[in-house]
Amino acid sequence: MPCEPIYHESMQEPTVVSRHPYPTFLIIGVAKGGTTALHHQLGEHPAIFMSPVKEPRFFNHDGYWPIVPGEGRPNRPETLEDYLALFHGVTTETAVGEATPDYIEIPAAAARIHAFNPGMRIIVVLRDPLERAYSHYVMMQNWGRMPIRPFEKVFRERILRNPDWLAEPHDAYGCADSLYYEGLKRYYDLFPREQILVLKHNELLRKSEESFEKIFTFLGVDPTFRLDTTKRFYVGKVPRSDLVWQVLNRPNPAKSIAQAVIPTPIRHSISLKIRRMATREKKPLDHTTRREFMTVYRADLLRSQELTGVDLSDWLAD
């Protein structure tokens, strides 16, 4: 049985104010580690209820995600009542959760979660740090936050050859989030080891039945339930042209005219087709590049392996 949560309005101190039964578990990370797929897949189990809002980010409220009442965070809870309302649909489910991958990144999130519910079960999916950084970089390109420059070129110039790379903008081009140890340690310092389940992204894909049996057992639900794990929720693609991508993502006269004269459903359909034509699947990193770049993550990965007891050595293999 899960412990009853403890909540304090500011979530700064573990003060008992009120008690609530949900959620009983959280998927805390990592970004680009398959949490979207895991969120949807776990919701297929009849004994598991997942929040209808993925990434509510409720425990991030520390100024990193500033809150202006009623603004800026559509469908995301700004109060305790809003957060608990995400779980009003629970009926007979015994495991109730949500997935916010940046809970592992926000320094104060672990303490807030522990104050809310010291019996919370914590799931984290780690991904090969270099592959995760590459995927994150491509995602930011697709959002228009990065120039269309090859990941290898940016990593070599801005990360590998820069001793102050963690001070670079945009969380060091998405590469900083592949340093796992500090984020993991915050949870291991607060929660008993048996309440934390660490999975590997590649094993979740290649050994899906075994991995989901482990998750279901951890959550105390029927481990023999079988999921459809064939659906792909996101395929990383890179823009072919910086110019074309800027036209698609930034305000311009052509877009304004199209918005005025073309019905929204037709415009969205056209935009989707153009975006598909303007992107290609990202190329895998070659062996030599991997070996060169992994020097950035080696020490952190070894510390994470020692902390979690999970074998991460295959990501370091030459």
Q: Is the omega angle on the peptide bond into residue 125 within 30 degrees of 0, that is, cis?
A: no
Instruction: Name which of 95, 96, 124, 131 is nearest 109 in CA terms.
Output: 124
Query: What distance in Å separates the CA atoms of residue 66 and residue 45, rounded to the nearest whole number?
Result: 34
Query: What distance in Å separates the CA atoms of residue 82 and residue 76, rounded to the nearest whole number?
Result: 8
Pair 219, 25: CB distance under 8 Å: yes
SS3 115: helix
Instruction: Name which of 212, 136, 185, 233 is nearest 28 in CA terms.
Output: 185
Query: What distance in Å separates the CA atoms of residue 20 and residue 116, rounded to the nearest whole number?
Result: 9
The sign one gets for the Cα dihedral 228, 202, 140, 62 is positive
Residues 6+ apart with CB under 8 A from 133: 155, 173, 174, 175, 177, 178
- Per-residue pLDDT of the chain in tens (318 residues, 90 and over written 9): 344 433 333 344 433 333 567 999 999 999 999 999 999 999 999 999 999 999 999 998 754 445 555 444 556 787 888 899 999 999 999 999 999 998 999 999 999 999 899 999 999 999 999 999 999 988 887 776 666 788 999 999 999 999 999 988 777 888 999 999 999 999 999 999 999 999 999 999 999 999 999 999 999 999 999 988 776 656 566 666 555 555 566 666 766 676 777 787 776 777 666 666 666 667 889 999 999 999 999 999 999 999 999 999 999 976
Pair 280, 237: CB distance under 8 Å: yes
pLDDT at 9: 38
Amino acid at 242: D
Q: Is the omega angle on the peptide bond into residue 30 within 30 degrees of 0, that is, cis?
A: yes
Query: What distance in Å separates the CA atoms of residue 217 and residue 212, rounded to the nearest whole number?
Result: 8
Pair 49, 96: CB distance under 8 Å: yes
Instruction: Name which of 170, 44, 32 is nearest 101 in CA terms.
Output: 32
Residue 126, beta-bridge partner list:
200
Amino acid at 264: T
Pair 202, 104: CB distance under 8 Å: no
The sign one gets for the Cα dihedral 176, 177, 181, 185 is positive
Structure tokens at 176: 């900083």
Residue with tokens 């801005």: 158
Instruction: Name which of 311, 58, 99 is nearest 203 in CA terms.
Output: 311
Backbone angles phi, psi at 106, to 5 degrees: -75, 120
pLDDT at 222: 97
Domains in the chain and their CATH numbers? 25-235+283-315 (3.40.50.300), 241-277 (no CATH)
pLDDT at 229: 73
pLDDT at 60: 87
pLDDT at 71: 45
